[in-house]
Amino acid sequence: MHTSHHFQGIALVTGGNRGLGLETCRQLAAKNYLVLMGSRDPAKGRAAADTLYATPGLGGKITPCVLDVTDEVSIQALYQYVNNEYGCLDILINNAGIHYDTWETASDADIEGTVQEALDTNLLGAWRMIRAFMPLIRQSAHGRIVNVSSGSGSITAMGAGPPAYQVSKAALNALTRTLAGELEGSGILVNAVCPGWVATDMGGAGGGPVSAGAASIVWAATLPDNGPHGGFYRHGKPIPW
């Protein structure tokens, strides 16, 4: 088992090779975390890591890792790697997400296609990761779980919108609350974060800076031990469920 005492901690980011995930990896590395960058495509993961290696001032280490959150075999392979190399995990960021399905409505949605795919990644992908990596998170003195959600998943603010995406993110919020209740008093902090509308492949060119959205995620991932637990936040401020 390798020690990592010269790092702030070990962080795993799903969907880490582009957009919000990539910027989240960069910001964590800049804070001297050892960052495991999850990516379905090994070549894209290596290329993304190379772009960050070329960025001056990164104090941490970035390791691209093959990970498909819809595939238990992939998840278990990564779990074994992290367990063998480090024996613990300090931060799990469930960032992988798909299907901002603006082309659908709830009454005519493709349930067997778009909806099931969105749930499989956006909800069940995070759930699989939590289930698999919880033994390693429990080994951390400062375990943190961040579920990257969306204001679209806020039932209070919800209206007609991308149905598969909205429902999957609302369900992810429910998972966040359920898990937070289970882990109350454990020292592990669990929160959902809306990064806001940012300019990514999913968000489109009209969004705000990716750096600001990632900063919200990193804020929740690096909370002090007396930080909030079981909440839903945007830019460090609570937003309604």
The catalytic position among 33, 86, 100, 165 is 165
- Dist. CA 192–CA 228, nearest whole Å: 11
Does 165 participate in catalysis according to the annotation? yes
* Contacts of the segment 157-160: beta carbons below 8 A, 24+ positions apart: 157/240, 160/105, 160/106
- Alpha-carbon separation of residue 14 from 17, 96, 237 (angstroms): 8, 5, 23
Calculate ∠ Cα 137-33-98, nearest 5°.
Answer: 70
And the tokens for 180? 């937070």
First to last CA, the chain: 41
H or E segment to which residue 146 belongs: strand 144-148
- Dist. CA 115–CA 168, nearest whole Å: 8
The catalytic position among 33, 86, 100, 169 is 169
Active site residues: 165, 169
